Chains A and B, each alone.
Chain A
Amino acid sequence: MKFAKLAVVGAALTLVVGACGSSTAAAPTAIKIAIELPLQGSDKAASDPIIKGIRLALKQAGGAAGGYTITIPDSAIFDDALASTGAHDPQTGANNMTKIVSDEQYMAVIGPLNSGVAKAQIPISNASGLLQCSPANTNTDLTKGAPAAAIRTKPNNYVRVVTTDDIQGPAAALYIYNTLKKTSVYIIDDTQTFGKGVADSFEAAFKAAGGTVVKHDAAPQTTQDYVSIMTAAKALNPQAIYFGGVTASGGARILLAAAQVGLGSIPFVGPDGINDGSGATANSFLNLAGAKAANSFSTLAGPGTFDGKAKFDADYKAEYGIDSTGYAGQGFACAQIVLDAIGRAGAGKPASYAALKEAVRAAATDTGHTYKTIVGDVTFDKNGDTSQLIVSIYSFDPAGASGKGDWKFESQLDAAKK
Chain B
Amino acid sequence: MTATSPAVAASNSLTRGLRVIGLAVGAILIYLLVLWRALEFASELTAGNTMQGSLIAALTRFDDVGNAYLAQALQQTVNALSIGAIYALIALGYTMVYGIIELINFAHGDIFMIGAMLAVVFLGGLLHQQEAVNNIPILIALILGALVFAMPIVGLINVFIERTVYRPLRNAPRLAPLITAVGVSFILQNIVLTIAGSGDRASPQIFPLDAQIPFGGAEISILSIFIFALSLGLMLGLQNFVGRSRMGRAMRATAQDQSAASLMGVDLNQTIALTFLLGGMLAGAAGVAWGLRFGFVRFDLGFNSGLKAFTAAVLGGIGNISGAVLGGFIIGFIENFASSLGFSRWSEFLVFMVLTFVLIFKPSGILGQLTGDRA
* CA distance in complex: A40, B305 (Å): 23
Answer whether A219 and B344 are a contact pair too, CB < 8 Å, given A44-B199, A283-B199.
yes
1/0 contact string of A255-298 vs chain B (CB within 8 Å): 01101111010000000000000000011000111110000000
* CA distance in complex: A130, B306 (Å): 45
Answer whether A41 and B294 are a contact pair too, CB < 8 Å, given A215-B342, A262-B212.
no
Chain B residues positioned under 8 Å from A40 (CB to CB): 197-199
B300 is an interface residue with CB less than 8 A from chain A: yes
A155 is an interface residue with CB less than 8 A from chain B: no
Chain A residues positioned under 8 Å from B105 (CB to CB): none
Q: Are B209 and A259 in contact (CB under 8 A)?
A: yes
Q: Are A85 and B294 in contact (CB under 8 A)?
A: no
Smallest Cβ-Cβ distance to B336: which chain A residue: A228
A223 is an interface residue with CB less than 8 A from chain B: yes
Partner of A256, one of B72, B199, B296, B305: B296
1/0 contact string of B176-208 vs chain A (CB within 8 Å): 000000000000000001000111111001000
Chain B residues positioned under 8 Å from A44 (CB to CB): 199
Q: Are A41 and B209 in contact (CB under 8 A)?
A: no
Partner of B344, one of A86, A223, A262: A223
Answer whether A288 and B200 are a contact pair too, CB < 8 Å, given A224-B294, A225-B294, A225-B335.
yes
* CA distance in complex: A220, B349 (Å): 14
1/0 contact string of B82-121 vs chain A (CB within 8 Å): 0100000000000000000000000000000000000000
Q: Are B76 and A231 in contact (CB under 8 A)?
A: yes
Q: Are A225 and B83 in contact (CB under 8 A)?
A: yes
Smallest Cβ-Cβ distance to B300: which chain A residue: A84
Q: Are B199 and A253 in contact (CB under 8 A)?
A: no
* CA distance in complex: A259, B212 (Å): 13
Interface size class of B (residues with CB under 8 A): 35 or more
Q: Are B344 and A228 in contact (CB under 8 A)?
A: yes
Answer whether A288 and B202 are a contact pair too, CB < 8 Å, given A225-B339, A256-B295.
yes
B135 is an interface residue with CB less than 8 A from chain A: no
Q: Are A228 and B339 in contact (CB under 8 A)?
A: yes
**Chain A proximity of B167: nearest CB distance (Å):** 29
Partner of B79, one of A227, A247, A291: A227
Chain B residues positioned under 8 Å from A229 (CB to CB): 339, 344
B210 is an interface residue with CB less than 8 A from chain A: yes
Q: Are B131 and A291 in contact (CB under 8 A)?
A: yes
Within 8 A of A (CB), among B325-346: 335-336, 339-342, 344-345
Partner of B199, one of A86, A224, A228: A86
Smallest Cβ-Cβ distance to A220: which chain B residue: B345
**Chain B proximity of A188: nearest CB distance (Å):** 10
* CA distance in complex: A162, B83 (Å): 42
Partner of A42, one of B200, B341, B344: B200
Smallest Cβ-Cβ distance to A86: which chain B residue: B198
Smallest Cβ-Cβ distance to B343: which chain A residue: A217
A252 is an interface residue with CB less than 8 A from chain B: yes
Answer whether A85 and B200 are a contact pair too, CB < 8 Å, given A219-B344, A290-B130.
no
Partner of A262, one of B131, B219, B295: B219
* CA distance in complex: A232, B294 (Å): 16
Partner of B301, one of A41, A45, A81, A224: A224
Q: Are A282 and B300 in contact (CB under 8 A)?
A: no
Within 8 A of B (CB), among A214-238: 215, 217-220, 222-229, 231-232, 235
* CA distance in complex: A222, B308 (Å): 13
B304 is an interface residue with CB less than 8 A from chain A: yes
A205 is an interface residue with CB less than 8 A from chain B: no
Q: Are B205 and A256 in contact (CB under 8 A)?
A: yes
Q: Are B130 and A235 in contact (CB under 8 A)?
A: no
Partner of A282, one of B197, B210, B340: B197
* CA distance in complex: A191, B71 (Å): 30
B133 is an interface residue with CB less than 8 A from chain A: no
Q: Are B294 and A81 in contact (CB under 8 A)?
A: no
Answer whether A283 and B200 are a contact pair too, CB < 8 Å, given A227-B294, A231-B72.
yes
Q: Are A231 and B79 in contact (CB under 8 A)?
A: yes
Within 8 A of A (CB), among B131-161: 131
Q: Are B298 and A86 in contact (CB under 8 A)?
A: yes
**Chain B proximity of A338: nearest CB distance (Å):** 29
Partner of B296, one of A220, A231, A252: A252
* CA distance in complex: A257, B193 (Å): 24
**Chain A proximity of B186: nearest CB distance (Å):** 10
Chain B residues positioned under 8 Å from A218 (CB to CB): 345
Q: Are B198 and A222 in contact (CB under 8 A)?
A: no
B37 is an interface residue with CB less than 8 A from chain A: no
Smallest Cβ-Cβ distance to B86: which chain A residue: A225
A15 is an interface residue with CB less than 8 A from chain B: no
B122 is an interface residue with CB less than 8 A from chain A: no
Smallest Cβ-Cβ distance to B83: which chain A residue: A225
Q: Are A232 and B198 in contact (CB under 8 A)?
A: no
8 pairs of A and B residues whose beta carbons are closest in the complex: A86-B198, A228-B339, A283-B199, A41-B199, A256-B295, A41-B198, A42-B199, A235-B72
A-side residues, CB < 8 A to B, are 40-42, 44-45, 81, 83-87, 191, 215, 217-220, 222-229, 231-232, 235, 247-248, 252-253, 256-257, 259-262, 264, 282-283, 287-291
CB-defined A-B contacts under 8 Å, sample of 23: A40-B199, A41-B197, A42-B199, A44-B199, A86-B198, A86-B298, A86-B300, A219-B345, A224-B301, A224-B304, A224-B305, A228-B80, A231-B76, A231-B79, A231-B340, A232-B72, A232-B76, A253-B294, A256-B294, A256-B295, A260-B205, A261-B75, A282-B197
B-side residues, CB < 8 A to A, are 68-69, 71-72, 75-76, 79-80, 83, 130-131, 193, 197-202, 205, 209-210, 212, 219, 221, 223, 293-296, 298-301, 304-305, 335-336, 339-342, 344-345
Other A-B pairs beyond A232-B72, A262-B219, A287-B202, 6, CB < 8 Å: A41-B199, A42-B199, A44-B199, A223-B344, A228-B83, A231-B76
